[in-house]
């Protein structure tokens, strides 16, 4: 159940609207279901509508007029709240709506229960699925009602009502969501043929600029050079940047000024101070290196993303929030880098996950330097044309989104959970399309059956918990081809598989075989000497481990049950 609350100056105008059946076609059978004393005149149940409406307005305004004579009446003395049930909810009776109205005015402080001096109010039902509460804010003792945070108090009461009445339970927010476009903004976008209002389009543009920039100067520069966007920078008297405002050129009409939005009006985390804090926590881009030692930013981003689920299982919520924010920035960059057929899904994924990047938890952005730096480096080095790097990153992104959903669920961040679930659907669709060509190419290089059997044996030994799931996966042929490629480069297939599993469990993977493919290919991209060094170190450690039941001269031939992990730089 959703509440919308507003204030006004005209009691008569509000009552006229609530009982109107001519202009408002969805107003059917308007009538009172409850009032402050249970005896208010009901214009919807009388033959003389005009006279009864006048009596109702006079009764509601009585205390307002008395307070006005004493100079106490508030200027905006009308309180208006609409309560709407979900489309899937059953139709509530008048008695049930009356009970809900009484609970809401009591919770908001307008008419507390058992308070004889509460404000005057009425609840009008003019459609099956919603009611309107009209109240005046002056109490019987001529003081103004204290109804601060009325939206939050009403929302908390509605959450209890939904549970008690068995209604659809709305995903409630924590006041960190971006402001929704107004109805006027939506209608204007429709008239102009735009798919989204200017506020939402500008929010996406600003988020993309933040994700691409490495400094505040670069951020302002990127915005200024974006087609169709007007930018105004606000300065302190000292000359330092105080903030910024943006406007869409299509909001400027003949003879009118553009409609400006500050960063905080677009989203809570897009204010200039918060953007500066995020950019200051970004590592500077290293000088370009050439040759085999040049790091691959796509692999770096994938590695950093694969570590996020582990961070989300820790006890540092501020670090976890930072990783989610950095992951959101990485998603913002992908539509700029992906092939055209994938961009729509990736834009929708980034737009949906945007809500999951914010909560009441304050992020400590320095924890997510690696992913943020890698995402910016990706913009300067497009993904290889074979699509492997993009599929690899999307596979990791799916696991991150699953982990983010679980993290928000444990903290009862309802809106963020919904947003992450929506993003997951778009990421899965994008991944399925991105992974098709690379997997097909791998299958075409499937090794001979004798080698396949050997790789299947390695899989059973290296991934015992998921062996049957991996071996029955349609992508297992591509996995054996990836292992063959890695072995040709000098890597030990079984050791590579164990390293891939050690990085992150496969419990959340839709296709463990596919996940192992991308991890194997990324690990095998490293020099084979690193694998040999790891093997040498494992052998040395095995020799130093006491083996009571094994003769000393045979110790080197005994393989430990699990190779020790080697810390990688």
- The SS3 assignment for 42 reads coil
Closest CA to 129 of 81, 183, 93, 171: 93
Query: Which pLDDT score, from 0 to 100, does residue 290 have?
Result: 53
Query: Which pLDDT score, from 0 to 100, does residue 548 have?
Result: 44
Whether the per-residue pLDDT at 540 is higher than 90: the answer is no
Query: Which pLDDT score, from 0 to 100, does residue 173 have?
Result: 79
Q: Could you tell me which residue, 381 or 157, shows the higher pLDDT? A: 157
**Mind listing the pLDDT tens digit for each residue in 242-256?**
999 999 987 665 557
Give the list of residues 6+ apart from residue 264 with CB closer than 8 angstroms, or none: 270, 271
Angle value at C-alpha 349, between 343 and 352, nearest 5 degrees: 140
User: What sign does the CA torsion over 184, 190, 191, 192 have?
Assistant: positive
Tell me the percentage of the chain whose pLDDT exceeds 70: 89
Supply φ then ψ for residue 322, to 5 degrees: -65, -40
Query: Which pLDDT score, from 0 to 100, does residue 282 have?
Result: 79
Give, to the nearest 10 degrees, the angle between helix 476-488 and helix 414-443: 70
Q: Could you tell me which residue, 513 or 536, shows the higher pLDDT? A: 513
pTM, two decimal places = 0.78
Contacts 24+ apart (CB under 8 A), 109-117: 109/145, 109/146, 109/147, 109/148, 109/150, 109/153, 110/79, 110/135, 110/137, 110/145, 110/147, 110/150, 111/36, 111/135, 116/140, 117/141
Whether the per-residue pLDDT at 289 is higher than 90: the answer is no
- The SS3 assignment for 261 reads strand
Instruction: Give dist(CA 159, CA 162) in Å, integer.
Output: 5
**Mind listing the pLDDT tens digit for each residue in 331-353?**
999 999 999 999 999 999 999 99
Instruction: Give dist(CA 224, CA 221) in Å, integer.
Output: 5
- Number of DSSP helices (H) and strands (E) in the chain, helices first: 21, 8
**Mind listing the pLDDT tens digit for each residue in 83-117?**
999 999 999 999 999 999 999 999 999 999 989 99
**Mind listing the pLDDT tens digit for each residue in 192-216?**
888 899 999 999 999 999 999 999 9
Instruction: Give dist(CA 435, CA 432) in Å, integer.
Output: 5
Mean pLDDT of 9-29: 87
**Range scoring the smallest mean pLDDT among 166-180, 317-331, 474-488:** 166-180
Instruction: Give dist(CA 260, CA 202) in Å, integer.
Output: 10
Mean pLDDT of 132-144: 96
Task: Tell me the C-alpha to C-alpha distance, in Å, between residue 292 and each of 4, 286, 296, 486, 525.
Answer: 60, 16, 10, 17, 10
Whether the per-residue pLDDT at 547 is higher than 50: the answer is no
Give the list of residues 6+ apart from residue 357 with CB closer than 8 angstroms, or none: 269, 324, 325, 327, 328
Query: Which pLDDT score, from 0 to 100, does residue 528 have?
Result: 67
List, as one string, the DSSP characters of 94-162: HHHHHHHHHHHHHHTTSS-TT-TTPPPEEEEEEETTEEEEEEESB-TTSPBP--TTHHHHHHHHHHHHH
Query: Which pLDDT score, from 0 to 100, does residue 251 have?
Result: 62
Query: Which pLDDT score, from 0 to 100, does residue 65 have?
Result: 96
Query: Which pLDDT score, from 0 to 100, does residue 288 have?
Result: 54
Query: Which pLDDT score, from 0 to 100, does residue 268 have?
Result: 93
Whether the per-residue pLDDT at 563 is higher than 60: the answer is no
Whether the per-residue pLDDT at 557 is higher than 90: the answer is no
- CA within 13 Å, CB half, 48: 6
Whether the per-residue pLDDT at 545 is higher than 90: the answer is no
**Range scoring the smallest mean pLDDT among 139-143, 475-479, 563-567:** 563-567
């Amino acid at each position: 159940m959703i509440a919308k609350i507003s204030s006004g100056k005209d009691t008569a105008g509000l009552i006229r609207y609530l009982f109107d059946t001519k202009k408002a076609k969805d107003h059917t059978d308007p009538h009172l279901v409850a009032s402050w004393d249970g005896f208010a005149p009901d214009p919807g149940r009388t033959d003389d509508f005009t006279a009864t409406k006048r009596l109702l307005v006079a009764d509601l305004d009585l205390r307002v007029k008395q307070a006005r004579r004493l100079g106490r009446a508030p200027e905006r003395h009308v309180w208006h709240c609409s309560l709407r049930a979900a489309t899937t909810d059953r139709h509530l009776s008048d008695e049930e709506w009356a009970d809900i109205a009484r609970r809401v005015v009591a919770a908001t402080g307008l008419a507390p229960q058992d308070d004889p001096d509460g404000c005057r109010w009425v609840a009008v039902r003019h459609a099956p699925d919603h009611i309107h509460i009209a109240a005046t804010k002056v109490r019987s003792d001529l003081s103004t009602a204290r109804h601060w945070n009325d939206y939050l108090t009403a929302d908390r009461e509605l959450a209890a009502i939904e549970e008690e009445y068995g209604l659809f339970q709305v995903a409630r927010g924590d006041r960190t969501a971006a402001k929704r476009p107004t109805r006027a903004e939506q209608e204007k976008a429709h008239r102009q043929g735009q798919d989204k209002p200017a506020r939402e389009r500008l929010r996406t543009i600003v988020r993309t600029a933040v994700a691409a920039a490495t400094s505040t100067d670069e951020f302002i520069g990127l915005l200024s050079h974006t087609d169709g966007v007007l930018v105004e920078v606000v300065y302190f008297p000292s000359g330092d940047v105080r903030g910024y405002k943006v406007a869409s050129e299509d909001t400027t009409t003949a003879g009118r000024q553009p409609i400006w939005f500050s960063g905080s009006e677009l989203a809570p985390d897009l204010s200039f101070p918060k953007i500066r804090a995020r950019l200051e926590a970004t590592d500077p881009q290293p000088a370009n290196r050439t040759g085999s030692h040049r790091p691959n930013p796509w692999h770096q981003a994938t590695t950093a993303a694969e570590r996020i689920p582990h961070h989300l299982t820790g006890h540092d919520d501020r670090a976890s929030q930072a990783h989610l924010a950095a992951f959101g920035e990485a998603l913002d960059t992908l539509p700029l880098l992906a092939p055209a057929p994938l961009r729509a899904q990736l834009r929708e994924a980034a737009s949906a996950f945007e809500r999951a990047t914010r909560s009441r938890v304050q992020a400590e952005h320095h924890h997510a330097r690696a992913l943020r730096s890698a995402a910016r480096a990706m913009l300067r080095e497009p993904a290889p044309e074979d699509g492997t790097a993009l599929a690899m990153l999307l596979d990791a992104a799916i696991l991150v989104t699953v982990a983010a959903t679980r993290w928000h669920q444990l903290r009862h961040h309802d809106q963020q959970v919904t947003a992450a679930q929506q993003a997951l659907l778009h990421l899965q669709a994008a991944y399925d399309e991105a992974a098709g060509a690379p997997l097909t190419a791998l299958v075409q290089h499937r090794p001979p059956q004798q080698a396949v059997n050997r790789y299947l044996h390695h899989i059973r030994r290296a991934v015992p918990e998921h062996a049957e799931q991996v071996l029955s996966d349609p992508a297992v042929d591509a996995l054996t081809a990836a292992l063959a490629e890695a072995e040709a480069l000098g890597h030990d297939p079984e050791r590579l598989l164990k390293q891939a599993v050690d990085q992150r469990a496969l419990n959340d993977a839709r296709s463990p075989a596919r996940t192992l493919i991308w991890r194997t290919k990324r690990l095998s991209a490293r020099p084979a000497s690193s694998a040999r060094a790891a093997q040498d170190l494992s052998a040395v450690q095995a020799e130093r481990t006491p083996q009571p039941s094994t003769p000393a001269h045979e110790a080197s031939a005994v393989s430990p049950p699990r190779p020790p992990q080697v810390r990688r730089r």
